[in-house]
Structure 1
């Protein structure tokens, strides 16, 4: 697994959901904050997005994609003024439109379910709003995913119930990739552009249960131990072995939440020699034992919409 895939997989739960919104004339709708990530794809027309966080209104045009990775509340409207008139999004679901005059606007609006208790720092540093305009020649894979989504929505061919969630998962990967390629702030784009740090991260993520040491990891990255420690710590914000410990426990938490694997199996996969060793490290990191975490995570998952 590569770092971006792992960063997304660690927080993704369940399946994404989406709704098609088609409106015309004067309209304004509010989407409440969400314990996950929201997204919008403008299929036809254009509109404005106004973040609740006080950021500048964002103009959205046909083909634009926007990701709200921290689930911030926001308004979608025909105009960025007078957002007090916004009605809840649930009251705006009009798949056939209402012919209210003015240009028609059609969007795909959706949510990804995320478990923020173990957010990877790459995902944590995404801005509140990631706007990816439809520019010719930019991010062709993202544009292709948008086109495929539009086709699935229009035609509802056999297999669409599987195709649509899969395309939405693909869309999330492409949105994160596109942000990383254009980001002017944040450390993780720099992390993954540094060959030494990237080589070390790739080694750790490919085999987290291996008996890694600083010397062995430096050899895998092709540099001295001192060089690895300096560059890795400066860019990632943790020393290599501290990052490995955190990542192993994050993987263990994911396995405890998503599977019925025994504690011994989870410990082995995470690189711990015994369930006791895992339990000790896990309790220190999360403040609860693995068993209590599993019960709590399962209960939270059942309560989520």
Structure 2
């Protein structure tokens, strides 16, 4: 497993918020749901984006934006259109999100237009797909920390049929459709992240740029393939065919930290993701990421994240579903 494959193994949407927005101008929607990560794809027409971490810009068909929370963002037909709709956080027992007019009152213009479609006109001048990961554990700490607040990929910068496939599937209302849509959202996110990292741009993480280094690249792949192995710098150097001093110096220069510090971070990131699976014990997690005992993992985990593995697991456990299922769509604020 190369480092990018390890990073992209994280997304696991579970009943993600998925919606097609179909609107005619003038329109302006501010999303303030505080979700860890959202993906917005333009299917038809154009949309003006204003978001923290990026300059205002216009998006066209096939363009995709990745927006990391908790910062709000706004899509509109024009930079001059005032906000008309505000989408807030989801309710405690539903994937639905609260939606209201900009002044907090009820919406008069937008409506439910069919299966997972919302707006003013089913054939609106602008049609967007919005996919939201409501829990950070669904994406993985590694993706969230590797991405800037906003990433915009123009249709010319990457080629993927997944936007069209998701646009077709979002209309369907069949058994198991929620799982199909979750997996399509995961694939679209993975494709977008991979395309962004592949661009010749300085904001790609150091460990990603290091994959092409003849010394550091092989060492990174070994650490990612065998995180549980009791690595030492000497062992890693022998496996990559260079001296210990050469590996230590080159690794620190290219990645920005020593090999064993990088390995510790990788192990604990893996542990944080594994702990979201309730059926996996802390002992099993410790063994899989290279710690001899759960106590050793707990001490390292608490130093890095400030909480114990059990506290991390409880903080990210899904809430019990004690309310009836509600369709994943914006709901008016009472």
- After alignment, is 22-31 or 54-63 more displaced? 54-63
Deviation at 1:181, TM superposition (A): 1.6
Q: Is the 8 A contact 2:13 2:186 kept in 1?
A: no
More helix per residue: 1
Does the C-alpha gap of structure 1 residues 34 and 303 become closer, same or farther in structure 2, counting only changes over 3 Å? farther
SS at match of 2:276: helix
Is 1:95 aligned to residue 113 of structure 2? yes
Alignment equivalent of 1:149, drawn from 166, 185, 200: 166
Does the C-alpha gap of structure 1 residues 15 and 235 become closer, same or farther in structure 2, counting only changes over 3 Å? farther
Does the C-alpha gap of structure 1 residues 2 and 282 become closer, same or farther in structure 2, counting only changes over 3 Å? same
Structure 2: state its 5+ residue gaps.
88-98, 101-109, 322-327, 329-334
Does the C-alpha gap of structure 1 residues 166 and 43 become closer, same or farther in structure 2, counting only changes over 3 Å? same
**Cα RMSD over matched residues?**
3.0
- After alignment, is 201-210 or 90-99 more displaced? 90-99
SS at match of 1:67: strand
Does the C-alpha gap of structure 1 residues 78 and 287 become closer, same or farther in structure 2, counting only changes over 3 Å? closer
Which stretches of structure 1, 4 residues or longer, exceed 6 Å deviation after superposition? none
Structure 1: state its 5+ residue gaps.
none
SS at match of 2:303: helix
Q: Which residue is 1:104 aligned to?
A: 125
More strand per residue: 2
SS at match of 2:279: coil
Q: Distance in 2 between matches of 1:182 and 1:41?
A: 19
Is 1:254 aligned to residue 276 of structure 2? no
Q: Distance in 2 between matches of 1:167 and 1:252?
A: 25
Q: Which residue is 2:64 aligned to?
A: 65
Higher relative contact order (CA 8 A, sep 6+): 2
Q: Distance in 2 between matches of 1:71 and 1:8?
A: 21
Does the C-alpha gap of structure 1 residues 261 and 302 become closer, same or farther in structure 2, counting only changes over 3 Å? same
Alignment equivalent of 2:282, drawn from 254, 258, 263: 263
Deviation at 1:64, TM superposition (A): 1.2
Does the C-alpha gap of structure 1 residues 54 and 199 become closer, same or farther in structure 2, counting only changes over 3 Å? closer
The two structures have a TM-score, normalised by structure 2, of: 0.77
Does the C-alpha gap of structure 1 residues 98 and 4 become closer, same or farther in structure 2, counting only changes over 3 Å? same
Q: Is the 8 A contact 1:20 1:95 kept in 2?
A: no
Q: How many residues align?
A: 295
Deviation per CA, 1:206-230, whole angstroms, max 9, x where unpaired? 1111111112212333332222212
Q: Is the 8 A contact 2:137 2:276 kept in 1?
A: no
Equivalent positions of 1:31-50 (< 5 A) are 31-32=31-32, 34-50=34-50
Q: Which residue is 2:151 aligned to?
A: 130
